[in-house]
Amino acid sequence: MWNFQTDPEFQQKLDWAATFVREECETLDLLFPHLGQPYNMENKAARAIVKPLQEQVKAQGLWACHLGPELGGQGYGQLKLALLNEILGRSIWAPTVFGTAAPDTGNAEILAMFGTVEQKRRYLQPLLDGDIVSCFSMTEPQAGADPKEFVCAARKDGDEWVISGQKWFSSNARYASFLIVMAVTDPDASPYRRMSMFVVPAETPGIEILRDVCVMGDREELDEGTHAYIQYNDVRVPADAILGGPGQGFEVAQARLGGGRVHHAMRTVGRTQRAFDMMAERALSRTTQGEKLSEKQLVQQFIADSAIELEQFRLLVMKTAWIIDNQPHGAARTHIAMCKVAMAKISHDVLHRAIQVHGSLGVTTELPLHDWFTSSLSLGLADGPTEVHKVAVSKGVLKGYSPAEGLFPTEHIPTRRAAARARYADVLSEFGVA
């Protein structure tokens, strides 16, 4: 069990990573600040800088640490990954530089588990080498992330599958070499056996990006959208493009989403800590009405609330990572959902306070706070809405409880007192206690 101390040898790795992210990756953030740029393989200037940095990471043995040694990683457990990802979360480029950028991490795991030899040669190895990027094409415009409402379908035609329908928010499709697509293959099956997953090369005829949707902070006039709205027009792929097998799409998706959710939480710890650091520095630096901001009680409340909430969140993430490492598969499901709920709220709240303490400067593009704040709103939607995860938390927690056996609650004082009197009736009678 993690006892709030880290192995000295691994701590040296973390110290190196912290310095490297601050000096190198955060510099890339300044040069290429748009969230889509880490996935744009056509940006030659960025790639010329990134490649040598990736080699330094590999030399330190910190490349793609979520993967096993057979795939070029270190096979770190979730607790070590949590400590490392906390550092990587400070920079939008750091995951790319360290070989841990989503959705490529999850897609690599899917290909490693379910891909054919040819698919691994063509896509997995270049993905692991950082030479290509990929897309996970699952959600739909009428259904969001609810797979029970999906209608994009794949039908068998001879030795091919034919995919038809629309997908929404297929991030980085414009840059991807391949897409992993979830489609309905048996509409009459039970809800979680209706779908299958397919590997689809990006150059396959019939893939039509209707538009690349912009989110808050993107500029439509500069075509900065990276979340594709896709029409699959009878897209044909060979029979072996299916991953896992017919009807196993949900299992394949879950194989990647659980780890992805907790990794998001790990990185959110780091970014939120950076915002907190900025707030603390500002409070000690700025004077108004004869006092430092740090001497104002409301600012002190901002600092205290943020420090407490961030520490609670970090410990929740660490405990979740420990459960994943040490308990049976699925045991962390409720805790992963807790992390998902907490990261959206705590990131939002701490960033809002940091912006307030910075005043007008906080809402300008001269600080990163405005970008982080707008992207914090997406944390409540990515990998499933916060509300869905609250339902999951509630259901998971309630499994550990039972209804009261009698008419009154278990803690009903008169009922418990009567039971206590009956238990010790002889003693109470002997001493004349009524």
Contact criterion met (CB below 8 Å) for 262 and 320: yes
Percent of the chain whose predicted confidence (pLDDT) is above 90: 83
pLDDT averaged over every residue in the chain:
94
The CA distance from 76 to 64, in Å, is 9
β-bridge pairing 134-137 and 178-184:
parallel
Q: Give me the DSSP letters along 325-376.
A: HHS-TTTTHHHHHHHHHHHHHHHHHHHHHHHHHHGGGGGSTTSTHHHHHHHH
* Domains of the chain, start order: 8-115 (1.10.540.10), 134-243 (2.40.110.10), 251-398 (1.20.140.10), 405-434 (no CATH)
Buried b (16+ CB within 10 A) or exposed e, 122-134: bbbeebbebebbb
The predicted-structure confidence for 26-75, as pLDDT tens digits, reads as follows 999 999 999 899 999 999 999 999 999 999 999 999 999 988 888 888 98
What spatial distance separates the first Cα and last Cα of the chain, rounded to whole Å? 51
> What's the rounded Cα separation, in Å, for the pair 205 and 358?
51
pLDDT, tens digit, for every residue of 226-271? Answer: 999 999 999 999 999 999 899 999 888 877 665 677 888 999 999 9
Closest-CA residue to 166 (of 184, 178, 148): 184
Check: pTM over 0.85? Answer yes or no.
yes
CA distance 65 to 43: 26
pLDDT of residue 257: 60
